[in-house]
Chain A
Amino acid sequence: MKVVNKKIVKKSVVKKQGISHKAGHGVVIECVDVIKKYQLAKDKVIEILHGVNFEIYATEYVIIYGPSGCGKSTLLNLVAGLEKPSSGSLKIRGEELSKLSSTQLARHHRTKIGMVFQQFNLINNLSVLENVALPNIFSGTKFSTRSKRAKHLLDHFRLGELADKIPTELSGGEQQRVALARALANNPWILLVDEPTGNLDSKSAEEVMEWLEHLNSKSRRTILLVTHNPDYLHYAHRVMYMKDGQIVNIKKNRPIGRHMAPQSDELSTEKLDSF
């Protein structure tokens, strides 16, 4: 497994060949010279990302850290396929995202990635169980199968008793855990997490971060997390520092495969990918 730990990047001059060719089969997300521009008015174009390059490896936990407005959420949305880059290449497991049709993109959302948002984004007129089962509806899973799986996931996140409640009856921390369960409904290998702790008190936030760490270390999901909170950077294998639409620094905390010592022994150790 390749690690690009010594790559301290100034401006946006990461050489393409330096990444993609050495990468091998371990690369799950590959981002080359990605530029994102928005047309604000007829004659006003704003460039949010000025040519971003990085690779993320299987089972890696990467945090993109930067101040508000630096373009980190935009970058995450590009990886999620919710937006297309203005130029450059973005591949998930070798598949170029901008070349996918809308149906293929929908399948990409469904099968390859799970998303977790700052605002939880649960649907408030569906029950907790139905929320978790929702991604399975779009993949055409049978009602009984998806309900069973959703129940299993909720039990895993110790939310089993809340299954029939509606999301607004839950605390923020519980809601974010429901969102985590939902992100795993289709058993994706990549989790894209956008400011998961932004709306949480510090205790719930810590708990959610522990769960994410757990998902990375125990069930080996690749995680790309975006935050402006420096408190959680130690969870990641690598931290990419972003400023003004560029990755300005990449810091390696520890090699892939090595994990933090569990901070809380309350967490279940059963494997999520067992179902």
Chain B
Amino acid sequence: MRFIDVIRIATRIFKNNRLRTFLTILGVSVGIGTIVFLIALGYGLQKLTIEQITGTDALTALEVTPSVGDRPRQLTDDMIKKIGAFDNVQTVEAVLALSGQMSFGGPPGDVSVYAVSDDYFSLEGLSFAIGEKMGASVANEAVVTSALLDQFSKDTNRLPDEKISIGYSKAGATNQFVSDSVEYKVVGIVIDEFEPNIYLPYDNVRKLSPESSIHSLKIKVNSQENIGAIKGQISAMGYPVTTVIDTVDQLERGFSVVRFALGLLGVIALLVASIGMFNTLTISLLERIKEVGIMKALGAADKDIWKIFLAEAMLIGFCGGLVGLAMGFIGSSFINYIYNYLATSYQAQEVSLFYYPLWFVLMILAFACLVALVTGFYPARRAAKLNPLQALRYE
């Protein structure tokens, strides 16, 4: 029997018992759609989170912090030079972290002061809500977090007009503040809802607070492949090193658990649908026992009958997969639309909550067919094994 004829006979399910075929496909679609929706949500959230914490630069950055514990070691200017001389290291930037007090002309408030170079933001993977980093050669610009503006009851959606006057500790965590003579203008707002931080040009702060120890080093490596080697070299010097990649790895592991849990829910939905499909296929076989008998009496081989019934199941599975993908896609777009509608009305950023890698779409289709294959196997075998004479007598 030719393949095209198997398909031709199998597609009769769309002509006869249309409603039943439609409902069965719908059942499978709902199952597949649920899986698509949930897993795409898992991927979307993961992508969103990782994008939030990293820029592309952050993936080639290392952070070195002072060693604590048995053999405490400070970060020194010598170290900066030493590390800067390593192969594949592009830049080494020091960061100072001080406690400080500042005001927009009104009452003062406590803040954390970070003295950073202009590369810091991309290396740290910070993203700006408004504005940009301070200019490399401009000494009176500052960047603040949205939490800081909140603390001073400022609008977080626009750059404040007032200039900042600020004082910070000379060394580490003392409460003796020196006043910075510069009045800073806010040029960028970093999204951070929790920490009231202000980022100032490194050289300004270093001048006023020369004794304060270096909080951390930001190292930029020329490519992601060399991260491991550099990390090893610095660790060997006795300093703890962290990379965003570590965090990303952890997150990915975390999200794979989330995806698994979400996927499991979807699989349960699909299981229910495939039981329904099994039921339909079995009933449709019962209705067509006589037809199978006729076909066998006319010379259909067992294999032909098997192919026809399996093709019907696969057809239902494939259509279920396609419609399910469409349903998952439409459903997630709808939810995403609602989310973004609400988000913009609360002045939050628009995001895409769902993400569909191409391989995932193809896998879902293959999965739907596989489910159909498994579900259709038994009814198809039963049909193939029917005794033609008994089948002919069946009413």
Residues on A lying within 8 angstroms of B by beta carbon are: 77, 80, 82-83, 102-103, 106-111, 115, 117, 121-123, 125-126, 134-135, 137-140, 142-143, 182, 186
Q: Is the CB of B4 within 8 A of A143?
A: yes
Q: Which residues of chain A come closer than 8 Å to B291, judged between CB atoms?
A: 123
Q: Chain B: which residue is nearest A134 at the CB level?
A: B298
**A106 and B300: CB pair below 8 A?**
yes
A143 to B2, CA, bound (A): 10
Counted as pairs of residues, one from A and one from B, with CB atoms less than 8 Å apart, the total is 70
Q: Is B389 an interface residue (CB 8 A)?
A: yes
Most buried by B among A82, A137, A143: A137
Find chain A residues with CB under 8 A from B300 CB.
106, 138
Q: How far is the CB of A176 from chain B (nearest CB, A)?
A: 14
A residues less than 8 Å from B293 (CB atoms): 121
CA distance A117 to B296 in the complex (A): 14
- Whether the pair A138, B12 counts as a contact (CB closer than 8 A) is no
Task: Pick from A102, A123, A186: contact of B294, CB below 8 A.
Answer: A123
B70-78, B182-190, B232-240, B301-309: which lies at the A interface? B301-309
Kindly state the separation between the CA atoms of A102 and B302 in the bound complex, as whole angstroms: 7
Instruction: State whether A115 and B302 are in contact (beta carbons under 8 Å apart), knowing that A82-B388, A121-B392, A137-B5 are contacts in the complex.
Output: no
Residues of chain A contacted by B9 (CB below 8 angstroms): 137
Chain B residue total in the interface (Cβ 8 A)? 26
**Known interface pairs A125-B12, A143-B4, A143-B5; A138-B294 also in contact (CB < 8 Å):** no
B392–A106 touching, CB < 8 Å = no
| Chain B residues closer than 8 Å to A83, beta-carbon distance | 389
Please, which residue of chain A has its CB at the minimum distance from the CB of B297?
A: A115
**12 A-B pairs, CB-CB below 8 angstroms?**
A82-B392, A102-B301, A106-B296, A106-B299, A109-B298, A109-B299, A126-B12, A135-B299, A137-B5, A138-B298, A138-B299, A143-B8
Residues of A within 8 A of B290 (CB): 121
Q: Mark B97-113, 1 if CB is under 8 A from A, else 0.
A: 00000000000000000
- Output the nearest chain B residue to A182 by Cβ-Cβ distance: B298
How distant is A60 from chain B, measured CB to nearest CB, in Å? 23
| Given A125-B12, A143-B5, A77-B389 contact (CB < 8 Å) | yes
Contact of A121 among B5, B15, B297, B299 (CB under 8 A): B297
Asked if B295 is at the interface of the complex by the 8 Å CB criterion, the answer is: yes
CA distance A140 to B5 in the complex (A): 8
Chain B's closest residue to A192 (CB) is B297
Residues of A close to B389: CB separation below 8 A: 77, 82-83
Contact call B301/A138, Cβ cutoff below 8 A: yes
Q: Within 8 Å of chain A (Cβ to Cβ): is B338?
A: no
Whole-angstrom distance between the alpha carbons of A87 and B291 in the complex? 29
Chain A CB within 8 A of B16 CB: yes
The 8 closest A-B pairs by CB, nearest first: A110-B299, A106-B301, A109-B299, A135-B298, A82-B389, A125-B16, A138-B300, A121-B294
Chain A residues within 8 Å of B301, by CB: 102-103, 106-107, 138
Cβ contact of B299, chosen from A111, A117, A126, cutoff 8 A = A111
Q: Which residue on A lies nearest to B6, using beta carbons? A: A137
Contacts of B303 in A (CB 8 A): 103
Residues of A within 8 A of B15 (CB): 125
Q: Is B1 an interface residue (CB 8 A)?
A: yes
Say yes or no: A186 contacts B5, CB within 8 Å. no
In the docked arrangement, what's the CA distance between A252 and B287, Å? 44
Known A82-B389, A103-B303; judge A137-B1 contact (CB<8 A).
Answer: yes
CA gap between A110 and B388 in the complex, in Å: 14
Q: Which residues of A contact B388 (CB under 8 A)?
A: 82
Contact partner of B295 (CB less than 8 A), chosen from A77, A107, A138, A143, is: A138
Q: List the B residue with the shortest CB-CB distance to A78.
A: B389
* B299:A107 contact, CB within 8 angstroms: yes
The answer to whether A134 and B297 have CB atoms under 8 Å apart is no
Known A-B contacts: A106-B301, A107-B299. Give 14 more (CB < 8 A): A82-B388, A82-B389, A82-B392, A83-B389, A106-B304, A125-B12, A125-B15, A137-B1, A137-B9, A138-B299, A138-B300, A139-B299, A140-B5, A143-B8
Question: In the complex where A138-B1, A138-B304, A143-B4 touch, is A80 in contact with B298 (Cβ < 8 A)?
Answer: no
